[in-house]
Amino acid sequence: MERYFEPEPIRQPLRTEQLFFISRRELKRNVGIPESEFSRLLFSLERNRFQEVERTEVKRGVEVLWHAESSTIVVPPPHAGTITMADLPVMAVPVVGFIDQTQPDIVVGCDRGARLYAIAVHAMWSKLKSGQERFPTLDSTMHFARLSTSLGTDVTSAALFRIVEKSTRESERHGKDINGNRLRIMFIDDWVSSGATRGQIMESLDAIGLLDKTDINFAVMCGESADVSGSSRRVSVPWQDNPPYIGVNYTRDGMPFAMRTNEAREMRSQLHRATRKVAHKITQG
């Protein structure tokens, strides 16, 4: 595997509940990785790099959990309790740094739960780069796909094949090559990116002949006992997995269709206002 992101974090007890507002049980269940396998990294926007974190140091909004084996960063919430739309741009900042460091050829936002978070990441990239640096993917854009375990592997395989084919075709049209020796794909998901979801993505890439030819990264948003499916009352996010609010839904065969509702427009407007506010605070010091 080509090594292009090699932080050297200090292994130490994470104390996720005290420092990151995430219970150990929820972290393992929802992300699919036990606490003991993570390390703490701090993203420095000034230095544009990740670095190890001192044992007692806590930097809300820029610190992430790193799992080297699966190339996964987990972005914790900036505070305890309900995560609001204003928090998403804050949580997007380290993912922007992760994208800048890894230079993925394709970025896929996993619908439906992570759509707004992925949009926040793309919007924050544009703001922090001041429009002077294009998104580093083959086609300079972000793609979305529903890669749920509720769909068959054939459906998710077809979705990923369409994305790769479209990205490759667009890059050939503009004469752009991949960023490294192998194709790099990053998946952005919310905190229900469990081991099962990750496994389905891997199986899908294998089915289309890309698993052994691709370097894969995950950026996962994590939070306090949330169920973004909307099937439970234990919901700590303001939008849930609610298509009219998110602005997209999917057919049974995984094909997306837009839902142009007033709720979706308002959500998007709130998100972009929050992104501008956070970016202005960062750039103005």
Check whether 26 has a pLDDT greater than 90. Answer: no
Q: What percent of the chain has pLDDT over 70?
A: 75
Say how far apart CA 181 and CA 1 lie, in whole Å.
10
The pLDDT tens digits of the residues spanning 179-230 come to: 888 999 999 988 654 567 788 899 999 999 999 999 999 998 876 544 333 3
Give me the pLDDT at residue 204, please.
95
| Choice among 51-60, 99-108, 145-154 with the minimum mean pLDDT | 51-60
Greatest mean pLDDT range, 75-84, 173-182, 254-263, 272-281 = 272-281
Mean pLDDT for the chain overall: 80
Q: 175-190 burial by CB neighbour count: b if 16+ within 10 A, else e?
A: ebebbeebbbbbbbbb
DSSP string, 27-85: HHHHHSS-GGG-EEEEEETTTTEEEE--TT---TTTEEEEETTTTEEEE--SSSSPPPT
Full-model pTM: 0.85
User: pLDDT tier at 100 (50, 70, 90 boundaries)?
Assistant: very high
Q: What is the mean pLDDT of residues 82-94?
A: 86
Give me the pLDDT at residue 112, please.
78
Q: Kindly list the domain boundaries of the chain, sorted by start residue.
A: 16-283
**Helix 195-207 vs helix 153-174: angle between axes, to the nearest 10 degrees?**
60
Q: What percent of the chain has pLDDT over 90?
A: 34
Check whether 151 has a pLDDT greater than 80. Answer: yes
Residue 186: which residues within 8 A CB-CB, separation 6 or more? 98, 99, 102, 104, 106, 107, 108, 216, 217, 218, 219
Check whether 9 has a pLDDT greater than 80. Answer: no
Cα dist from 24 to 18, 35, 276, whole Å: 11, 6, 33
Q: What is the mean pLDDT of residues 42-64?
A: 71
**Higher pLDDT among residues 74 and 3, named by residue:** 74
Q: What is the mean pLDDT of residues 250-276?
A: 88
Cα dist from 219 to 23, 24, 160, 264, whole Å: 19, 19, 17, 24
Q: Any idea how long the chain is?
A: 285
Say how far apart CA 196 and CA 219 lie, in whole Å.
16
Give me the pLDDT at residue 221, please.
83
